[in-house]
Structure 1
Amino acid sequence: MTQSNTSQTSGGGRLLNTFLNRPVEDHGSGWSNLWDSGESGLWDRGKASPALVDIVEQERELLNPFTADGKRKKALVPGCGRGYDVVMLALHGFDAYGLEISDTAVKEAEKYASAELAKPSAYHFGSEQRSSRTPGLVTFFQGDFFSSQWEFKGGIDENTKFDVIYDYTFLCALHPEQRRQWSASMARVTKPGGLLVCLEFPLYKDPKLPGPPWGLKGVHWNLLAEGGDGIITGEVGEGGKERKVASSEVGDFRRVLYVKPARSYEVAKGTDMVSVYVHK
């Protein structure tokens, strides 16, 4: 599973056809096959997320890469693709980890990271232009996010919980039947008080249309704050609007930030949102 292409619609397309009649439990191999056949260009954005760059640089107190005693915080990007966002987080001070289901993707990410850490591209930075911080560690894993049996290395084991997790198009690459599993896995690997940062996409697409990508309007709120199954069949409720978080919310996460990014990928059509949730 990885970052998914916005150009696919119910009318067809390579991604849509790859998963159209594939059993849900076999979707992971579908993503791996696309990597192995050199078709990652279907979804690859070619750079770190501008929205994530800005939120990391602008919300310094919320997304401080260091603990109170000066230790680096650990950030995870499931479905990290070539690792653009993993490298960006490391350049901003986090020890950053990327998880991919495809061994081919992991190898490409490691190659990309080696080059970028030696000579970072400008897109890793926004107003800072270039961070003065010494980069954190970059580590990639091959494995299934829904399983605890990752290829552990770099001080990570099955008991490790992360300070920050970032999701861009990992959730929208998953079949709706897997959404509750996604939120349960996020809760499992996020520290109490840790942050789940989501670039919510695509929000312009009808959630009832087939994917990937699957439309996600209202889905993050339903899964994380309301503890629902993420299956949206009617009008989006209050979670789709900017509002304060009510104390009665029963999900594993509490939303503390919900903003429209000033910069994002063009494919988002100006509709995506950045949400930040705290694990209770």
Structure 2
Amino acid sequence: MSTANSTTTTAENREKLKSHMSQYSGSAYVRGWDELWNKGDFLPWDRGSPSPALADTLVNHAHVIGGPFVDGRRKRALVPGCGRGVDVLLLASFGYHVVGLEYAEKALVACEQYAKENEGRFPVYDEKIGKGTMKFLQGDFYSDEWVKKTGWEDWDGTFDLIYDYTIAMLNVAIQFFCAMHPSMRKDWAKRTTELLRPSPQANLICLEFPVAKPAKSGGPPFGAPSKAYLEHLSHPGEDIAYDAEGNVKMNPLAESSPNALERVGHWHPADTHSVGKDKDGNVEDYVSVWRHR
């Protein structure tokens, strides 16, 4: 596909997605994604391959996030809004026990089918560590019902790793953070903070995208600059001020909340999906890593 055709396809898919999701607001927003999966003929975020940025983080930034074991047990990871589950398979191949969470029933079916047909594409990264297990669960990220379905014994309901991620197809990317209306971000931050284990060895990994998209252009995907993550994760559950155009208003004098997360890593990944690069092929996306203070 030529650059011109690719750009046209990107714009068309974004407008179509934006038009569809504009019909849903508030608590009904997740139903908009559910309907897309149920129809199955327009899934512009589904690339069918794992995030290069996550792979880069697991391989080249293990000194920041640590390995898949802690206190003699395998770490438990969560991929909320996991799509077809490609990153679930990737994390399991690196040794994590992983839950892939999806709201839509059809997405869950797609996860199981993809795992069945493609598990061989994800060999064990380190034979000494071995492969972790995978569970695909249907549920609302903001509800506790799905947490009870993991079947894990002696578990407190928190995760050692959470990946807020991007999957892409046809040069359109949807990320759990950027896929939701900005008014929902305070709840996302609060829930994510609750699900992340309060341990210095537990990490939230965010693939920040699209960092350069003007806020006033709307979404999804909505512009997600680094400062948006910084403000919301420093004040989870709190109202964050946005200006008239939709840009986050930083408040350097505001103290972080007692339950805030602290950013401990921030970098451009070595590679990312093409939609996260500029016209010259330079990576625009960021990876950020967060922990409880």
Matched letter for residue 183 of structure 2: E
Write the distance in 2 (CA, Å) between the matches of 1:77 and 1:43. Answer: 15
Report the counterpart of residue 140 of structure 1 in structure 2: 136
Extract structure 1 runs of 4+ deviating beyond 3 A: 6-9, 156-159, 226-232, 234-239, 248-251
Question: What is the deviation of 1:76?
Answer: 0.1
Change (3 A) 1:181 1:134: same
- CA apart distance, 1:236: 6.8
C-alpha displacement at 1:68, in angstroms? 3.0
Q: Is this contact kept in 2: 1:83–1:112, CA < 8 A?
A: yes
Structure 2 equivalent of residue 161 of structure 1: 158
Higher alpha-carbon deviation: 160-169 or 37-46: 37-46
Residue identity in the other structure for 1:147:
S
CA 1:191 to 1:209, structure 2 compared with 1: closer, same or farther past 3 Å? Answer: same
Please say if residues 78 and 161 of structure 2, whose CA atoms lie closer than 8 Å, have aligned partners that are also in contact: yes
Residue 167 (structure 1) shift: 0.2
- Candidates 50, 64, 69, aligned match of 1:66: 69
Equivalent residue for 1:44? 46
Q: Deviations over 1:235-266 (max 9, x none)?
A: 77599xxxxxx9x6436100100011110011
Change (3 A) 1:40 1:105: farther
Please give the residue correspondences for 1:199-238 in structure 2 after superposition, counting only pairs within 5 Å.
Answer: 199-217=207-225, 218-227=227-236, 229-230=239-240, 232-233=242-243, 234=247
- Bigger Cα displacement from structure 2, 266-275 vs 72-81: 266-275
Structure ranking higher in helix proportion: 2
Higher mean alpha-carbon deviation, 140-149 vs 59-68, is at 59-68
1:87-144 deviation digits (Å, cap 9, x = unpaired): 1000000001110000110111112122332x125xx89xxxx443421000011011
Choose the corresponding residue for 2:196, options 190, 193, 209. Answer: 190
TM-score of the superposed pair, with normalisation by structure 1 = 0.84
Q: Residues 47, 12 of structure 1: CA spacing in aligned structure 2 closer, same or farther, 3 A cutoff? A: closer
Q: How does 1:32-111 map to 2 (within 5 A)?
A: 32-39=34-41, 41-61=43-63, 62-69=65-72, 71-111=73-113
Query: Is the CA contact 1:35–1:102 (under 8 Å) kept in the aligned structure 2?
Result: yes
Once the two structures are overlaid, the 10-residue window that deviates more, 49-58 or 148-157, is 148-157
* Larger displacement relative to structure 2 (18-27 or 269-278): 18-27
**Aligned residue number for residue 243 of structure 1:** none
Counterpart position of 1:277: 290
* 1:12–1:96 Cα change, 3 Å: closer
In 1, Cα distance between equivalents of 2:91 and 2:135? 12
Q: Which moved more, 1:223-232 or 1:263-272?
A: 223-232
Instruction: Return closer, same or farther for 1:108/1:54 CA change in 2, 3 Å cut-off.
Output: same
Contact kept in structure 2, 1:167 and 1:198, CA below 8 Å: yes
Distance change (3 Å), C-alpha of 1:154 and 1:229: same
- Normalised to the residue count of structure 2, the TM-score between the two structures is 0.80
| SS of equivalent residue, structure 2 residue 98 | strand
2:25 maps to 23
Amino acid at match of 1:59: H
Q: Which runs of 5+ in 1 are unaligned?
A: 1-5, 240-245
Give the deviation of 1:156 after TM superposition.
Answer: 7.3
Cα distance 1:37–1:59, how it changes in 2: closer, same or farther (>3 A)?
same
